[in-house]
Chain A
Amino acid sequence: MKKYVLDLELRSIETLRPDYVLLRLCNGTAPLPEMQPGQFVEVRVPDSPATFLRRPISINKVDRERGELWLLIHTVGEGTRALARLKAGALLNVVLPLGNGFTLPPCVEGGTSDANRYVLVGGGVGTAPLLFMGEELVARGHEPIFMLGARSGKDLLQLDRFEALGQVCVTTEDGTVGETGFVTQHSLWTKIREGVCPKPALVYTCGPKPMMVAVSRLCDDLDVACEASLENLMACGLGACLCCVENTTEGNVCVCKDGPVFPTSRLRWKAEC
C-alpha cells in the first residue's frame, strides 16, 4: 500500500473525556489514501519544541463520504497535549498509512451466522482502532461483538458508536458501568466456554499489553485465533530505525512494519508476562 506524507487540515477537534480528544482531519478537497483498520499514522506535532519525534496514532475511523480521518488521542505527554491544543483549521503533517491492519474476512451475503461472528476486545484508548474495524466488519456482512474495558465509566470512549454497530459488553474496574473487573473476566467468556454462546471466528484485541496477553491466553484455551495490535515505542514508523521491535517466533521484528497487528501465535510475550 503506497504511503504518503500529507498536510491534513484539522476540520474539528472534540474533547470526548477530560484526557481524550477526537481529531477529524481532511485532505482539503482531495480524497484520502486507502487505509485499513489496524493501520496507523505518524503525526508531526506542530508548535511543540519539546517534542522531537512524530507520534504514532491508530486510525479510529475513516469516513469516506465526508473525506475524514479520525484520530482518537489520549493526552498522556507533551506531544499529545500539544495536539489537543490545536484549533480547527490547523494543518497537521501526517505520514500514512503505516503497518499492516487486522485480517479482514471476505464479504458475506444473506445475514450473519455463527461462522461470521467476531469478538473485538479493547481496553483504554486501545478501543480506538476497533471502531474502524467494527465498521468494516459490518460493511462486509459480519457481526462484531465488542468487549470494552476501562478503569471507570468515565473512561469509556465512543460507547454510542460501538452500540450502533453491534452488541457491546462493558467491564469497568470500579463497577460503575457494566460488569465489574477486567474484560477477560466478562461473563461472555464463560458463556462461550460453556457453549451457551458460539465461539467467535476470530478475536481482535488492542489495549494494554497485560490485557492483550490475558486475552490471547483465553483464546488459546478456547482454541480461537487471536490478532493483537501492539503499540511499542517507535521512531520512524517505516521499518528503518529498528527501535519498536517485538520478540516473535521469527526473532525481533518491527512492530511498525511487520505489525502493528500480529496473530498472537507469532508472539513470544506469554513467556514474558
Chain B
Amino acid sequence: MNCSLLTKIGDLQLQNPVMTASGTFGYGLEFADFVDLNTLGGIIVKGTTLEPRQGNPYPRMAETAQGMLNCVGLQNKGVDYFCNVIYPQVAGLKTNVIVNVSGNSPETYAECARRIAELDHIPAIELNISCPNVKKGGMAFGVTPEGAASVVKAVRAAYPKTLIVKLSPNVTSIADIARAAESEGADAVSLINTLMGMAIDAERQRPILSIGTGGLSGPAVKPVALRMVWQVYEAVNIPVVGLGGIMNATDAIEFMLAGASAVEIGTANFIDPTVTTKVIAGIKEYAERHKLKSITEIIGAAHGSVS
C-alpha cells in the first residue's frame, strides 16, 4: 500500500514531516553533498536578526552524555545578507525554506519578519523566542506568557504568511506559553529549543563554555521534549512541530504520536549528515508496516491511552 507522507503546518504543505532544525543545518547548502535537499519536508535556516551579530566568544561547545551544550549566541550576518546572498541560492529549492527569526525587542523581530515576508519563496518563519544564549531578547520573551504574546502580536501584524513560534523548555508551564502564542495569532508552535545547562572542567576548575551556561541538545533531552509536545498538543488547537534529540525514524514517530504534525532534526545532523534521508525512509517504512493511508493518522494517536 502506498502511504502519503504529506502533512501540514497551518496552510503550509510539507511533502513529508521531516524538517531540519535551525542552527544545525546551516542554510542547507552546507549539506548539499550529503542530502538531496529537495526531498526534505523543510529546511529551517539558521537564526537571523535585523543586524549582523558576532555571537559569543569561543569556546561555545561542550560534549555531554548523549548530547552537547552550545552557547553560539545567534551569530549571523543579518537579514540583508540572507536576502541578498543566501536567498538567491535557496529560492529554487523544491522544499519549504523557512527562516528562523530572532531579535531583541518586539519591533526588531517584526521588522526582520517584514523583510522576510517580501521573499516569495520563503513560505514561513519560525520565531525564536527561546534562545538561551543571548543576554537581551531571545529566551527572555519566551519564558512568560506576556513576553511571548508581545512578540507574537508584533510579528503577526507584520507577517502574513505561516508563523511558527519556537518555544523554550526553560519554563514552568510550556502549555501556558503555547496558549499565549496561539491567542496572538501564531499558526503553529515548535518545541523544544535547548534546555539550559552547564559543563565544568574539573581539572581546570572552571566552566567549559565561554559564558558559563549553554543550551543542551541531543538524545539527552528527548524525554523532556516528548513530554512537552504531549502537553502542548493537549493545550492548543494549532499544529505542533516536535523536536529535541531525534536521532532516527522511531524517535520522529514517537513525537508524532505525542502530537507533532511535523518534526525537526537538529543535533543528529552533526553525527550523521545524511540522517534526514534515513529518517524519511524509516517513516515511510513504518507507515507501510502499520498500513497507514496517511502519516497524519498517527498525529497525537498516543493520547487517550493514558489512565
Closest chain B residue to A55 by CB distance? B63
A233 touching B61, Cβ below 8 Å? yes
Please measure, in the bound complex, the distance between the C-alpha atom of A132 and the C-alpha atom of B23, giving whole angstroms: 33
Stretch at the interface among B3-11, B120-128, B271-279: B271-279
Total chain B interface residues with beta-carbon distance under 8 A: 34
Q: Would you list which residues of chain A between 1 and 57 have a CB under 8 Å from chain B? A: 2-5, 44, 50-54
Closest chain B residue to A2 by CB distance? B33
Stretch at the interface among B52-60, B183-191, B288-296: B52-60
A50 touching B30, Cβ below 8 Å? no
A235 touching B26, Cβ below 8 Å? no
B58 touching A247, Cβ below 8 Å? yes
A243/B34 contact (C-beta < 8 A), A232-B58, A233-B61, A252-B54 known: no
Please measure, in the bound complex, the distance between the C-alpha atom of A4 and the C-alpha atom of B68, giving whole angstroms: 24
B58 touching A53, Cβ below 8 Å? no
Please measure, in the bound complex, the distance between the C-alpha atom of A54 and the C-alpha atom of B67, giving whole angstroms: 12
CB B211 to nearest CB in A, in angstroms, measures: 13
Residues of A within 8 A of B65 (CB): 50, 52
Please measure, in the bound complex, the distance between the C-alpha atom of A241 and the C-alpha atom of B271, giving whole angstroms: 12
Total chain A interface residues with beta-carbon distance under 8 A: 31
Please measure, in the bound complex, the distance between the C-alpha atom of A2 and the C-alpha atom of B31, giving whole angstroms: 11
Please measure, in the bound complex, the distance between the C-alpha atom of A208 and the C-alpha atom of B27, giving whole angstroms: 32
Interface string of A54-92 (1 = CB under 8 A from B): 100000000000000000000000000000000000000
Q: B72: CB under 8 A from chain A?
A: yes
Q: B170: CB under 8 A from chain A?
A: no
Residue of A44, A237, A240, A247 contacting most chain B CB atoms (<10 Å): A240
B58 touching A240, Cβ below 8 Å? no
Q: B237: CB under 8 A from chain A?
A: no
A242 touching B34, Cβ below 8 Å? no
Q: Would you list which residues of chain A between 240 and 268 have a CB under 8 Å from chain B? A: 240-247, 251-252, 257
Closest chain B residue to A252 by CB distance? B54
Question: Which one of A44, A239, A241, A247 lies within 8 Å of B70 (CB-CB)?
Answer: A241
Question: Which one of B62, B67, B72 lies within 8 Å of A241 (CB-CB)?
Answer: B72
B60 touching A5, Cβ below 8 Å? no
Residues of B within 8 A of A240 (CB): 23-26, 30-31, 46, 269-270
B34 touching A234, Cβ below 8 Å? no
Q: B218: CB under 8 A from chain A?
A: yes
A52/B66 contact (C-beta < 8 A), A238-B30, A240-B30, A243-B60 known: yes
B55 touching A245, Cβ below 8 Å? yes
Residues of B within 8 A of A51 (CB): 63
Q: B150: CB under 8 A from chain A?
A: no
A52 touching B67, Cβ below 8 Å? yes
A52/B24 contact (C-beta < 8 A), A2-B33, A5-B274 known: no
A241 touching B58, Cβ below 8 Å? no
A238/B273 contact (C-beta < 8 A), A3-B34, A232-B58 known: yes
Please measure, in the bound complex, the distance between the C-alpha atom of A93 and the C-alpha atom of B26, giving whole angstroms: 22
Please measure, in the bound complex, the distance between the C-alpha atom of A226 and the C-alpha atom of B104, giving whole angstroms: 40
B30 touching A239, Cβ below 8 Å? yes
Please measure, in the bound complex, the distance between the C-alpha atom of A95 and the C-alpha atom of B35, giving whole angstroms: 13
Please measure, in the bound complex, the distance between the C-alpha atom of A50 and the C-alpha atom of B67, giving whole angstroms: 10
CB A39 to nearest CB in B, in angstroms, measures: 14
Residues of B within 8 A of A93 (CB): 272
Closest chain B residue to A235 by CB distance? B270
Q: A236: CB under 8 A from chain B?
A: yes
A242/B72 contact (C-beta < 8 A), A52-B64, A53-B63, A251-B54 known: yes
Q: B144: CB under 8 A from chain A?
A: no
A52 touching B31, Cβ below 8 Å? no
Residues of B within 8 A of A251 (CB): 54
Residues of A within 8 A of B13 (CB): none
Question: Which one of A4, A54, A233 lies within 8 Å of B271 (CB-CB)?
Answer: A54
Q: Would you list which residues of chain B between 34 and 78 have a CB under 8 Å from chain A? A: 34, 46, 54-55, 57-68, 70, 72, 75
Please measure, in the bound complex, the distance between the C-alpha atom of A53 and the C-alpha atom of B61, giving whole angstroms: 11
| Given A52-B67, A235-B270, 9 other A-B residues pairs in contact with their CB atoms under 8 A | A51-B63, A235-B68, A238-B26, A239-B26, A240-B25, A243-B59, A244-B58, A245-B55, A251-B54
Residues in A lying within 8 Å of B, measured CB to CB: 2-5, 44, 50-54, 93, 95, 232-247, 251-252, 257
Query: Can you list 14 contacts pairing A with B, beta carbon distance less than 8 Å?
Result: A3-B34, A50-B65, A52-B271, A53-B271, A54-B270, A238-B26, A240-B25, A240-B270, A242-B60, A242-B72, A243-B61, A243-B70, A245-B75, A247-B58
